[in-house]
Amino acid sequence: MHEYNNKNIVLHELVGLEARVLDSKDHDQIGISGRVVMETKNLLYIKSGKSIKLIPKLPTVFAFSDGVGTYRVVGSEICFGSAERTAKALRFYSKRNV
């Protein structure tokens, strides 16, 4: 199991975490929440109730929760496929506060 914190959240797997849309260009998406069930480079698939919502990572602000803490993430910090996240998200990792 990952030990998430506010700094390393951008490097870790997001599938399985609870997510909430805090801000989005599409105002209808603000407030959508649920469990992340899949991720692509540009989208998060969030199971909300009985449906799965496709949320673009850009230009969205998310709150992710691992059951211990909640972490605010700007979509541009995670706009990578999960396989390339560690290498490419390091530039955001160094700027985040613990």
Identify whether the C-beta of residue 60 lies closer than 8 Å to the C-beta of residue 46: no
Structure confidence at residue 92 (pLDDT):
82
Structure confidence at residue 20 (pLDDT):
98
Superfamily of domain 8-93: Ribonuclease P/MRP, subunit p29 (2.30.30.210)
Structure confidence at residue 4 (pLDDT):
86
Predicted TM-score (pTM) of the model is 0.89
Q: Is 20 left (phi over 0), alpha (psi -120 to 50) or beta?
A: beta
Structure confidence at residue 1 (pLDDT):
54
Structure confidence at residue 94 (pLDDT):
80
Domain ranges (residues) in the chain: 8-93
Per DSSP, what are the bridge partners of residue 53?
46
Q: Give me the tens of pLDDT residue by residue for the chain, a chain 98 residues long.
A: 568 888 889 888 899 999 999 999 999 999 999 999 999 999 999 999 999 999 999 999 999 999 999 999 999 999 988 778 777 878 888 888 77
d(CA 89, CA 76): 9
Ordered strands of the 43-48 beta sheet: 51-56, 43-48, 33-39, 18-23, 61-65, 70-74
